[in-house]
Structure 1
Amino acid sequence: MRLTEVTYGSARAIEGYGPGFFRVAGHVLRGPCLITPWDAGPWGGLTDTSAPLSLEGRIDVLFVGTGTHIAHVPQAFREALEGQGIGVEVMASPTAARTYNVLLGEGRRVAAALLPVD
């Protein structure tokens, strides 16, 4: 079997995570983060819809990582994003990070809003 290294070009991939942080494109971000192919920075958490909504027209799907374990997101959060045409996929943060990277490698229009793991 031949394995091929995944390259992301100039897009920002999630390189790692640990208790309270994410490493994205060589930078460590602490706390909740919003990660896109072109930027990564702090995010206000599940009550902050303004930052993800600013991605309207630039992404198709937002992967929401709810920390160590999968949990429900507030209905208002989901409705706000889906109402603007942004799909919301909820999963634990480690799974969301991996899924983001896989689809980023495929050139898909994705972003990740991640709550840190314990």
Structure 2
Amino acid sequence: MKLHADLPLASSIIAYGDGWLQLPQERLEHSLLLSGEGWHQPWDCPRFDALQQAHLQALADAALQHQAQVVLLGSGARTRFPATAWLRPFITQQLGLEVMDTAAACRTFNILVGEGRRVLAGLILERSAESI
């Protein structure tokens, strides 16, 4: 699905699909952490079922490093919530976490970047069984 008709911001998500995401300069086919400033790094969480507390700790640490106002978790093809106990890094660091499916997280990320908000997203890019 294409997200923009206008020229994209350097940090915006141009398009996304089954197991992939297009940034202005690069197509990615792995889960990632992505900031509104354009920084990104691979996130070793290929599907929601593989999500562990350490993944959420890495997301919280990156949010603090990038001084994020909003933290998004794109949970894959559908909205799924992590175990409550794993949210401790967000609670202790007073960070809010918005959980939604990855497609919604991509759209929300672009809206927040367009508003000039400091946002960080953990996006799980999993492939559907049909595309494997």
After TM superposition, the score normalised by the length of structure 1 is 0.82
Separation in structure 1 between the aligned mates of residue 112 and residue 7 of structure 2, nearest angstrom: 11
RMSD of aligned alpha carbons: 2.1
State how far apart, in whole Å, the 2-side matches of 1:25 and 1:76 are.
Answer: 36
Matched, 1:102 2:102: no
Deviation by residue 1:43-75 (Cα, 9 ceiling, x = unmatched): 123321224413316102211011110011122
Aligned-residue sequence identity (percent) comes to 27
Equivalent in the alignment of 1:56: 64
Q: Which consecutive unaligned segments of at least 5 residues does structure 1 have? A: none
Moved more, 49-58 or 82-91: 49-58
1:91 deviates by: 0.3
Distance 1:54 1:35 in 2: 9
Q: Distance in 2 between matches of 1:95 and 1:17?
A: 11
Q: Which sections of structure 2, spanning at least 5 residues, go unmatched?
A: 46-50
Aligned CA distance change for structure 1 residues 71 and 28 (closer, same or farther; 3 Å): same
Q: Give 2:19's aligned residue.
A: 20
Structure having the higher helix fraction is: 2
Structure 1 residues 21 and 78, CA gap change in structure 2 (3 angstroms): same
**2:87 matched to which residue of 1?**
78
- Equivalenced residue count is 113
Report the Cα distance in structure 2 between the residues aligned to 1:112 and 1:96, rounded to whole angstroms.
Answer: 8
More strand by share: 1
